């Protein structure tokens, strides 16, 4: 059969792979009729989470049961089903207490070794272990596009709103208006919020959130904290749902929540870290709840019912319907790498360098592969008395005013030299000494006009910075 498989960072292909078979009496094999590209797939595609060449991709799927093991009781061949993205046993202590995402036999479809080596749903067929637990019947007459997301992001949004304990007078702010945020917006309204705010930088996403009843806040145009304060009589939001999964979004969530408010962290994290000022959190009486991986099985009946009766409509986020063969061209098209600024007012150097990196990533999408491994850079222009910190990771690029922490590589030069570096031709990531511009940079290094800390021991990371800045 045909399936989408991982090849390398930011590269997939459609390959012929072995047909799945019943390996256990509790298995089912499902013929996939529709699958989706999830933001979590992009974490593997970008290298944020590990995957090996040849691993199947995809964990959102809906289809028709083709065969079942002898111990499967709830499903038979011909049944239309949606598949849970997380595969659990259904009988351990955690599964019995509605915490299936903590199952002792937890696995994840289409996640390579990270998820237990199961196949993906971006394929013609997929094997589903413990089928009685990990399949849900699709209501008669419901289209694939409405049922598809119940196995993951729709139910995740429903769950994220539910654990926020939203009250009838609450203002809920959703940080991130992507697909999960979109479902958080609808679920927050379903759970009785008086008002829902959607915070994002993308006008198209904000328009879709507004169509679902949210008040849009473009954080590219307005400071998030000030905008939310203006809309809440200066208090801040009662409940904030962080639906992105990067440290900048987490920081925004903490900034816009009111004293005594609740922050629900739905966004996915892997290796990221932040410093938490415990005294500030304590004095503000913040309630921060990490949603973790959604325990789909405890919530998907309720989520499916909300879709069936029209209280949640998933169709606005379906932008393209494509054949399986288009996956290599479209897998990465769902995500553009953005440069984000951690300060409400980026200084001149931050705006210049950040804008240059953004333009380069847009013009040369392949350079996003440089973000596969985290690194931190410090840049100082002493003549202008200004400095910045650049953090790169699979999640994107963050630019901050000032030097923060201990950068892997530090660059110090006057403003004109820093601006000129972007036009220097590179060879293997370093200024090309065979060119006049490259020799000029070398001369400045020897004269001390350009100082680089980490030039020898961290040359690989310095090469990344050069490539992100270079327009040559």
Are residues 461 and 401 located together in one domain of the fold? yes
Q: Residue 334's pLDDT band (boundaries 50, 70, 90)?
A: very low
Last residue of a domain, one of 290, 308, 326: 290
Last residue of a domain, one of 89, 116, 147: 147
**Domain total for the chain?**
3
Decide if 204 is inside a domain. Answer: yes
Are residues 249 and 233 located together in one domain of the fold? yes
CA distance 181 to 165: 17
Last residue of a domain, one of 116, 131, 147: 147
Are residues 33 and 127 located together in one domain of the fold? yes
Are residues 357 and 453 located together in one domain of the fold? yes
Average pLDDT, the chain: 88
> 243 near 175, Cβ under 8 Å?
yes
Are residues 133 and 164 located together in one domain of the fold? no
For 402, the domain range is 339-469
Least confident of 236-240, 276-280, 340-344, 386-390: 340-344
Are residues 160 and 142 located together in one domain of the fold? no
Are residues 368 and 259 located together in one domain of the fold? no
> 81 near 62, Cβ under 8 Å?
yes
Tens of pLDDT along 147-205?
999 999 999 999 999 999 999 999 999 999 999 999 999 999 999 999 999 999 889 99
Decide if 193 is inside a domain. Answer: yes
CATH number of 431's domain: 3.30.1050.10
Q: Residue 425's pLDDT band (boundaries 50, 70, 90)?
A: low
Are residues 180 and 91 located together in one domain of the fold? no
Q: Residue 355's pLDDT band (boundaries 50, 70, 90)?
A: confident
CA distance 117 to 130: 15
Decide if 326 is inside a domain. Answer: no
Decide if 78 is inside a domain. Answer: yes
Are residues 111 and 174 located together in one domain of the fold? no
Least confident of 299-308, 365-374, 403-412: 365-374
> 471 near 437, Cβ under 8 Å?
no
CA angle 178, 56, 16 (to 5 degrees): 130
Are residues 281 and 360 located together in one domain of the fold? no
In terms of pTM, does the model score above 0.85? Answer: no
Sign of CA dihedral 437, 439, 440, 444: positive
Residue range 387-391: mean pLDDT, rounded: 93
Cα separations in angstroms, 465 against 344, 370, 379: 24, 9, 11
CATH number of 200's domain: 3.40.50.720
Q: How far is CA 334 from the centre of its chain?
A: 11
Are residues 9 and 142 located together in one domain of the fold? yes
Q: Residue 416's pLDDT band (boundaries 50, 70, 90)?
A: confident
Decide if 313 is inside a domain. Answer: no
Structure tokens at 458: 């961290």
CATH number of 90's domain: 3.90.180.10
Decide if 169 is inside a domain. Answer: yes
Decide if 331 is inside a domain. Answer: no
Are residues 142 and 200 located together in one domain of the fold? no
Decide if 179 is inside a domain. Answer: yes
> 423 near 443, Cβ under 8 Å?
no
> 338 near 18, Cβ under 8 Å?
no
Tens of pLDDT along 201-222?
889 999 999 999 999 999 988 8
Q: Is the pLDDT of residue 39 over 80?
A: no
Sign of CA dihedral 66, 67, 73, 76: positive
pLDDT score, position 319: 83
Query: Could you tell me which of 375, 450, 370 has the C-alpha nearest to residue 407?
Result: 375
């Amino acid at each position: 059969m045909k399936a989408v498989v991982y090849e390398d960072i930011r590269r997939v292909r459609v390959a012929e792979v072995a047909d799945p078979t019943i390996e256990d009496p509790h298995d089912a094999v499902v013929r996939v009729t529709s699958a989706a590209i999830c933001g979590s797939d992009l974490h593997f595609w970008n290298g944020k989470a590990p995957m090996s060449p040849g691993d199947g991709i995809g964990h959102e799927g809906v289809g028709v049961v083709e065969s079942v093991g002898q111990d499967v009781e709830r499903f038979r061949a011909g049944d239309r089903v949606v598949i849970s993205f997380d595969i659990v046993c259904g009988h351990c202590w955690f599964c019995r207490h509605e915490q299936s995402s903590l199952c002792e036999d937890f696995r994840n479809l289409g996640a390579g070794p990270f998820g237990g080596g199961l196949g993906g749903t971006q394929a013609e067929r997929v094997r589903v272990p413990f089928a009685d637990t990990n399949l849900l019947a699709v209501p008669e007459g419901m289209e694939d596009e409405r049922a598809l997301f119940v196995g993951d992001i729709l139910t995740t949004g429903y769950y994220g709103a539910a654990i926020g304990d939203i009250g009838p007078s609450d203002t809920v702010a959703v940080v991130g208006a992507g697909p999960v945020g979109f479902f958080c917006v609808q679920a927050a309204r379903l759970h009785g919020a008086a008002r829902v705010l959607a915070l994002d930088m993308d006008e198209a996403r904000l328009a879709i959130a507004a169509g679902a009843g949210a008040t849009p806040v473009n954080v590219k145009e307005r400071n998030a904290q000030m905008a939310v304060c203006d809309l809440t009589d200066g208090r801040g939001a009662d409940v904030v749902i962080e639906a992105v999964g990067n440290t900048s979004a987490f920081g925004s969530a903490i900034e816009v929540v009111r004293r005594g408010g609740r922050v629900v962290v739905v966004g996915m994290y892997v290796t990221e870290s932040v410093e938490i000022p415990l005294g500030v959190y304590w004095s503000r009486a913040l309630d921060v709840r990490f949603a973790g991986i959604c325990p789909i099985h405890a919530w998907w009946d309720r989520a499916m019912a909300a879709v069936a009766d029209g209280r949640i409509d998933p169709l606005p986020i379906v932008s393209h319907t494509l054949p399986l063969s288009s996956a290599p061209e479209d897998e990465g098209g769902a995500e553009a790498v953005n440069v984000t600024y951690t300060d409400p007012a980026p200084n001149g150097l931050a705006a210049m360098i950040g804008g240059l990196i953004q333009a380069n990533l847009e013009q040369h999408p392949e350079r996003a592969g440089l973000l596969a491994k985290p690194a931190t850079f410090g840049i100082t222009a002493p003549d202008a008395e200004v400095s910045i910190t650049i953090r790169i990771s699979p999640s994107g690029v963050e630019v901050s005013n000032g030097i923060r922490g201990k950068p892997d590589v530090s660059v110090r030069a006057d403003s004109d030299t820093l601006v000129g570096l972007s036009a220097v031709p590179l060879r293997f990531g370093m200024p090309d000494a065979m060119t006049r511009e490259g020799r000029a940079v070398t001369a400045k290094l020897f004269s001390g006009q350009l100082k680089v800390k980490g030039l020898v021991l961290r040359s690989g990371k310095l090469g990344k910075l050069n490539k992100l800045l270079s327009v040559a």
